[in-house]
Chains A and B, each alone.
Chain A
């Protein structure tokens, strides 16, 4: 009843190829952006900013990167955290060694370095496929972290290898408080998500999807395998690199290789699969799920303990892990195409509402 396109006619090709063709969708998006940019900064607590919103957005950006590589181009990668690390350390070195460089330019520089490394480690994808490629990307994960730990030049010969990140200063304004950091991260993520959406909707995205579905056929019809696959690795690593720089500067406050370990790579892969591979919305939903679930479980166990049901502390922590594992399996059984699929099913139902079919 409400969610209908009856009466909405497009008279130009440009209007027809909009991301949100329906007026209702555009209104909903505008409202969401208004809430995110205006309402949330005014009402949220610092805890919500620094522990929930900022990491969700940053990891969603990394998940978009991995989604481009795994969801759209079909190249399974377990090395996304390593590319994040490259982005973080490269940004650190740009700010350290190029005097006066604007920090946003340093972030882009970090992303470009990560893209270059991504191309190098993406070269095997021209020969290797499937799980072999996944394990090959683990080579990237372990090698890059070892390199960043070992080579003193990268960490400016710091004795412990853990560097505190320089403060974010844009046009003279220092981003120290959680709310401005949140707005900065939100702006960067929103812009890059828009870019990703347009990339995947266009010619490039179609080429990637063709390679994912049937790469031999794609080559037959003239899609160059090497360029397309390497471009997927490059774009994906760029996104992961910028996300890694933000992770160090806007969230943790330190640039250290151990924060970008295999565990983080797996978490980002979870976000992509559970959120919905091959969708941009899925990256955001998956990120929210993976960031919030451990916190919710921790708080719930704390509730149970406080309400008198004496849960021994070790059992509580293990219970969190068990429930997390069960939730993942449950989600994969119930909706293997991810939360984004549930969302689009919901929209389909909304089109028919209030009728059942």
Chain B
């Protein structure tokens, strides 16, 4: 009993001390994962976000308001993610927004953020239906959802083949991580297959996917024209190596953006040369904003990445882009609700719904070519739907296309169907966006 009491007292004391508000700062809790099988990606992504926040602070904050944050280790585990969220949501004046970078944690938080009125972003993953802002007021799948991403992949294949008609009769194998993450886009893929006339062959890979001979021997037997790789973590390099082992050409493998980072291709060595993957953010340090981070943040010793060669890697730039989107949302909110003031979560939500990052604005931010224009609205919480495709040449990712989108109309129809179903199940009254500003 004593042990429990003293531990509880310690936690209570920690909460009390931590809750001392710093009112002139905008607080963002960071639910990060830096250990476990996805640690490399997590440390890159959250490192990038923190680097950008440090840059914003170093250049005067958002109209004078500085950003402050606190990290909490979730280990990519739903229960720990929920605990981290509950612990941090009221600290330092209240959390403005939360981004768990994990499908499991995001699902666990969907109801909580609606109740607590804190906007949650699911940058490039999460529930496909949540792009419908009428139903999901507090969830923002910024960038692309999985459904739009698979549509973009099909569009890329159409482009490669020379037109949608050329895809008819072809066989596309969909190798997926056998979990919620892998199963999300199957509905959309089937709809696209029906529309374009290709056969979608779905083969699950048992997580964690350390040995995949059986999967790739099946692929060899079926001889698909293309393979879409929808893996995560160690599944990706093993897939590429096993494909090389069975002799399947890697130029025909298209990876989702969670299968398209340096961490995925470097362990595969020469088996990854020529492999194409999707990406929302372009890697590299040549962009002005990345140069600023190098000089103003790493130069001042505030850089978050311990291994400086990782600056500009895919996960790092993805985190920087997330930082840019969030900062822009807060800036929008300040433009409406008061410049130089700390924004409440509701106000940040409004800001997230009115992101309008045009090419001109992206140029102002020093990120031209780094990510596509993003325009969110009350009904569309996704904002872009575009990805670019890049090829690994053995030492770096090089772009093969600009930012392209798939059949967004088809996807939007599916999104609205799923969102309506969700609203009926949960008895949510959808908001009528035509009445909002």
Contacts and interface: CB of A to CB of B under 8 A. Distances in A.
**Complex: A in contact with B (CB within 8 Å):** yes
Contacts of B206: 146
A263 B77 contact: yes
A51 B71 contact: no
Contacts of B435: none
Contact of B180 (A160, A313, A320): A160
A288 interface: yes
B107 A162 contact: yes
B11 A299 contact: yes
Contacts of A288: 3-4, 7
Contacts of A256: 78, 104, 107, 180
Contacts of A48: 8, 11-12
A320 B112 contact: no
A8 interface: no
A162 B180 contact: yes
Given A46-B86, A47-B90, A318-B35, A285 B186 contact: no
B73 A320 contact: yes
B155 interface: no
A333 to B, nearest CB: 17
A41 interface: no
A299 B180 contact: no
A68 B47 CA distance: 45
B170 interface: no
B125 to A, nearest CB: 11
Interface in B61-80: 70-73, 75, 77-80
Given A164-B426, A296-B10, A258 B104 contact: yes
Interface centre among A161, A259, A289, A313 (most CB of B within 10 A): A313
A55 B108 CA distance: 14
B7 A313 contact: no
B87 A314 contact: no
Contact of B111 (A164, A251, A263): A164
Interface in A107-152: 146, 149
A320 B72 CA distance: 11
Given A149-B179, A159-B184, A252 B108 contact: yes
A50 B86 contact: yes
Contact of A252 (B3, B14, B35, B78): B78
Nearest to B187: A159
Interface centre among A46, A55, A253, A314 (most CB of B within 10 A): A314
Contacts of A258: 78, 104, 179-180
Interface centre among B1, B18, B73, B110 (most CB of A within 10 A): B73
Interface centre among A252, A263, A318 (most CB of B within 10 A): A252
B9 to A, nearest CB: 11
Nearest to B14: A299
B290 to A, nearest CB: 20
Interface in A286-339: 288-289, 292, 294-296, 298-299, 302-303, 312-314, 316-318, 320-321, 339
A52 B11 contact: yes
A298 B34 CA distance: 12
A279 to B, nearest CB: 14
Interface residues of B, number: 57
B277 interface: no
Interface in B291-341: 304, 306
Contacts of B104: 162, 256, 258-259
A313 B74 CA distance: 13
A225 interface: no
A254 interface: yes
Contacts of B75: 317
B172 interface: no
B193 to A, nearest CB: 16
Contacts of A47: 15, 86-87, 90
A312 B78 contact: no
A45 interface: yes
B43 interface: yes
A160 B82 contact: no
Contacts of B115: 176
B266 interface: no
A259 B180 CA distance: 12
B427 to A, nearest CB: 9
A123 B112 CA distance: 41
B199 interface: no
Interface centre among B8, B14, B82, B107 (most CB of A within 10 A): B107
B136 to A, nearest CB: 12
A160 B178 CA distance: 11
Interface string B25-46: 0000000111100010001001
Contact of B127 (A55, A146, A160, A320): A160
B220 interface: no
B189 to A, nearest CB: 11
B11 A254 contact: no
B432 interface: no
B79 A55 contact: yes
Contact of A313 (B14, B34, B426): B34
Given A253-B108, A263-B77, A298-B72, A51 B86 contact: yes
B107 A254 contact: yes
Interface in A174-228: 176
A313 B32 contact: yes
Contacts of A251: 79, 82
B418 interface: yes
Interface string B80-114: 10111011001000000000000110011011100
B183 interface: yes
B70 to A, nearest CB: 7
22 contacts: A50-B86, A55-B79, A159-B183, A160-B128, A160-B183, A161-B179, A161-B183, A162-B104, A253-B111, A253-B112, A292-B8, A298-B73, A299-B14, A313-B43, A313-B47, A314-B35, A314-B43, A316-B34, A317-B35, A318-B34, A318-B35, A320-B73
The 10 A-B pairs with the shortest beta carbon distances in the complex, nearest first, are A51-B83, A51-B86, A317-B34, A299-B14, A314-B34, A160-B180, A317-B73, A317-B35, A162-B107, A292-B7
Given A292-B8, A299-B18, A318-B35, 11 more contacts: A51-B83, A161-B179, A162-B180, A256-B78, A256-B180, A292-B7, A295-B11, A302-B70, A303-B14, A313-B304, A321-B35
